[in-house]
Structure 1
Amino acid sequence: MEHNYKLIHNEAESQYEYHIEGMLARLVYDNQDGVLHLTHTFVPKELGGRGIAGALVKDVFEDIKKRGLKMKPACSYIVNYVEKYPEYEKLQ
């Protein structure tokens, strides 16, 4: 699914962000020695049902891959996403 959301890596807050219609969708992580423990995905309910969470997780995974890092899903949404798209298992 194509989208026009711009992924922002807010390292100071340890999160990836989309700013959409004045609201913040985010994926929070904890960087432990180059392994990003992905702890929380949040999309405001006003933006729900538009595939934003899935787009955010995919963009974050692509950024992790591009940067040569590893990730550990610690959020049920992200665990389920990896099960649905097993090509991202190699990032673990």
Structure 2
Amino acid sequence: MTKNETAHRFEMDVDGQIAIIVYEETHFKMTLLHTEVPPALEGKGAATAIIEKTLEYIEKNHYRLVPLCPMVVAYIKRHPEWKMILDESVRDNY
């Protein structure tokens, strides 16, 4: 996975297809806006993989997470161990 700072998105190549998560970044706060997976990768775990890698990046780089993307929100609700990286402004929603 790579962080494309110019396009404001995380990108992951899966079998020649690119899955993305669009983000906004301010003062060590990462807002995840949209996850997109090409139709050829749907149902193959690509969205889960890029979400996991993005959350690992956020944790490793000491960002606080504001998840606005419904896929990321659903992932965190299924994996509450990631609540620890949530920004305090949204933590009560989980």
Range of TM-score over shorter length: 0.7 to 0.9
1:47-80 CA-to-partner distances (Å, cap 9, x unmatched) read 1111010011001000111101111100111100
Structure 1 unpaired stretches of 5+? 1-6
Q: Partner of 2:68 in structure 1?
A: 74
> Which among 45, 53, 64 is matched to residue 47 of structure 2?
53
| Number of positions where the alignment pairs a residue of Structure 1 with one of Structure 2 | 86
Q: Partner of 2:90 in structure 1?
A: none
Q: For residues 68 and 33 of structure 1, what CA distance do their matches in structure 2 show?
A: 11
Q: For residues 47 and 54 of structure 2, what CA distance do their matches in structure 1 show?
A: 11
Structure 2 unpaired stretches of 5+? 87-94
Scaled by the length of structure 1, the TM-score of the pair is: 0.88
Q: For residues 62 and 27 of structure 2, what CA distance do their matches in structure 1 show?
A: 13
Scaled by the length of structure 2, the TM-score of the pair is: 0.86
Identity %: 30
Q: For residues 84 and 91 of structure 1, what CA distance do their matches in structure 2 show?
A: 15
Instruction: Indicate the RMSD between aligned Cα atoms, in angstroms.
Output: 0.9
**Higher alpha-carbon deviation: 16-25 or 61-70:** 16-25
Q: Partner of 1:64 in structure 2?
A: 58
> Which among 2, 27, 40 is matched to residue 8 of structure 1?
2
Q: For residues 61 and 26 of structure 2, what CA distance do their matches in structure 1 show?
A: 15
Q: For residues 42 and 73 of structure 2, what CA distance do their matches in structure 1 show?
A: 19
1:12 counterpart SS class: coil
